Structure 1
Amino acid sequence: MIKKIAVIGAGTMGHSIALNFSIYGYDVNLYDTNSTRIANVEEEIKEELEFLAEEEFIEPSEIMKALSNICYFTDLQEAVMDRDYVIEAAPEILKLKQELFQKLDEFCLDHTILASNTSSLNLESMMALISNDRRKKMIVNHWYNPGHIMPIVELSFFGNMPEDIYLKVEHLYKSINKQCVKVLKDIPGLVANRIQQGVAREVFSIIEQGIAAPEDIDKALQFGPAFRYATTGQLEIADLGGLDIWCTVGDNLLKVMDNSLSANSLLRRKVEEGKLGLKSGEGFFKYNQENSSEIRKRFIQKLIHQLKASEYYVEKKTSLNNI
């Protein structure tokens, strides 16, 4: 049974992952090479917990309990030496991850399961420097940002790991109310990012062609397909709509839709012009950077509301399926 967890990297994803496990009572060690980051991240986690309490997602009394479940380290061996499960959330650099997993293989207990939060790097390549026995205990577990709110986690089952160990990991994530996606083939982007990129490719193409303004394109997605996707998936939507209809529409539309194999040229021009979105003050929309923290807060607030609604929906759907 997995009880003790370490998270490697206290950045955007790492600290969010640590926070998520701490809410559910897990003993978490959070490590980073940057001592300044480690010194400051506890306050950031506290603020995020306070916001969850404001939104009535957790009780105010849970804030200090969650904070007490996290210990902070700048020594890697100390952070992982007694852990059952270690997740790395380091930069997407293959050599860095290979060397990190080599150290983790040496420092960790024999039973420790090692996990990577990557969605773009090959598992086999990341395992290049670890022992044969540890290869059976290594998995990709891809979280979505922000990790403590987005309910999805994608888990690899690529043939290196026995099913009983996989089920231990799956049980861990179910214990923190994650929706687990079991990925059977090691492909770039796994499942969710590939679906997202498919939507994004057509969205960028529509704006490049001048078919609609950015605000109307987002409105079409938000109140059209995404409105249904909030409570169901594409395959159920297709079943309910009729596969014959979906087949006909596919024949008519797919041949005129974007099938490019690289990022949209409009998107690339925006990047070259330094229009990176909220972080620069302008992307497809303009932003007042003095209000950037409030803009992010409103975005997180909407996700929290959606998370609460989706948890209720999952419970209802499960009960109906059991009738």
Structure 2
Amino acid sequence: MGKKIAIYGAGTIGACQATLTSGNGYSTVVIGHSEEGLSRCRNTMLQNWNDLIAQKLATAANRRAAMDLVTITNDVSALRDCDIVFEAVSEDVNIKQRVYSIITEVCGRDIIVVSTTSSIDAAILAEKIENPARFLIAHPFQPVHMLPLVEVVRHTETSEETLNQVCTLLKDLNRQVVMLNRSVPGFLVNRFAQALFRESIYLIEQGITTAADIDRAIKYAVGMRYASIGLLEYYDAVGFELERAIALNVYPDLCDTKSIQKTTLVGIASGRTGQKAGQGLYDWSEKDEDDFRYRKQAPYFEGVRQWHMPE
């Protein structure tokens, strides 16, 4: 493959990004902080491989060969020979700036740095790095090694060479790339998601339906429909006249609150904050954790067959 990839950050995103790169034959360095974090990163990667092996998408030999390509360390000098560094640390501008300084100090100012941020403006981050021409955002989605979409966000100083090198790598990793010429809050997918979340919480709070029925509607209509044809292909297929008529009926009744909704605030105050807390919109004690992890990955299994796995 030639290129040596680094991931600065040993959390879930970093571990799954490293699973993807090493699983496609790239020598990969993961920079973490604590020994506990490094161990957790390795265990996450092994769990990713075990899931693939269970689905007969990989073998134990693939797992061994891929893990042999990975260095997981807190020694930043391991960055020295890398060609591209993916930054996957906390969503804190100051922390990211410190990481960019470390990367530049070790690798020089010509190293390509790619942030995986899901929320920070590319122009803001570009101000925090010594050579902004060599910087852009490539925002992946969980689980990062499985879900193929990456939102690439450039800023006014991103060079064409940087853009081309990053997109070439992503496409070699069998990623589907969407391009944003500048940042907007939430980029594309999280903007769509927040609109759906807001409307869903509103409908629950109004007593109109339940979380389970909303999820059923998404899984068996919205998700299936737009997985086979695009959202805007569907809009064109319906036609502007009918869509106008629907919009005139629906737009006035849509939730348009600019505030965090009561369900979320009460959940935070009471500790019922979702899956990790055991309770959120669902009682997670009634759900099978392994089944949920399988269902999160299942739509993407076929894409793994396109990996260039080491043996």
TM-score surpassing 0.5?
A: yes
What letter is aligned with 2:218?
Answer: L
1:123-177 deviation digits (Å, cap 9, x = unpaired): 222233432xx21110111111111111111111222112232121111111111
For residues 39 and 309 of structure 1, what CA distance do their matches in structure 2 show? Answer: 29
Offset at 1:260? 0.9
Q: Which residue of 2 aligns with 1:81?
A: 80
Within 2, Cα distance between the matches of 1:254 and 1:275? 32
> Which shows bigger deviation, 228-237 or 18-27?
228-237
2:23 counterpart residue number: 23
AA of the residue aligned to 1:165: T
Partner SS for 1:230: helix
Q: How far apart are 1:69 and its partner, in Å?
A: 1.2
The residue aligned with 1:298 is 291
Aligned 8 A contact 1:101 1:127 in 2: no
Structure 1 residues 2 and 208, CA gap change in structure 2 (3 angstroms): farther
Q: Deviations over 1:271-307 (max 9, x none)?
A: 2111112211111111228x7xx51x32332243311
Q: Which runs of 5+ in 1 are unaligned?
A: 313-323
Task: Give the alignment's TM-score, normalised by structure 1.
Answer: 0.89
C-alpha deviation, 1:2, in angstroms: 6.9
Three-state SS of the structure 2 residue aligned to 1:171 is: helix
Q: Provide the C-alpha distance between the structure 1 equivalents of 2:283 and 2:238, rounded to a whole number of angstroms.
A: 38
CA separation of 1:118 and 1:287: change in aligned 2, threshold 3 A: same
Residues 1:217 and 2:214 are matched in the alignment: yes
Question: Residues 17 and 145 of structure 2 are in contact (CA less than 8 Å); yes or no, is this contact kept in structure 1?
Answer: yes
From 187, 199, 207, the counterpart of 2:204: 207
Q: How many residues align?
A: 305
Distance 1:180 1:251, change over 3 A: same
Mapped partners of 1:180, 1:15: distance in 2 = 21
Q: Which residue of 1 aligns with 2:166?
A: 169
Quote the residue 1:259 is aligned against: 256
TM-score normalized by the length of structure 2: 0.92
Q: Give the C-alpha shift of residue 40 in structure 1.
A: 4.2
Aligned partner letter, 2:13: M
Q: List aligned pairs for 1:1-323, cutoff 5 A.
A: 3-76=3-76, 78-131=77-130, 134-288=131-285, 294-295=288-289, 297-308=290-301
Deviates more, 1:167-176 or 1:106-115: 106-115
- 1:121 deviates by 1.2
Separation of aligned partners in 1, 2:192 and 2:125: 24
Q: Percent identity?
A: 26
Query: What amino acid is aligned across from residue 179 of structure 1 in structure 2?
Result: Q
Task: Tell me how large the CA RMSD over aligned residues is.
Answer: 2.0
Which amino acid is 1:128 matched to?
E
Cα separation, 1, equivalents of 2:179 and 2:13: 21
- After TM superposition, give the deviation of residue 71 of structure 1 in Å: 0.5
Return the letter of the residue paired with 2:297. I
Q: In structure 1, give the amino acid aligned to 2:38.
A: I
**Aligned partners of 2:274 and 2:280 also within 8 Å:** yes
Distance 1:160 1:2, change over 3 A: farther
Shift of 1:86: 0.3
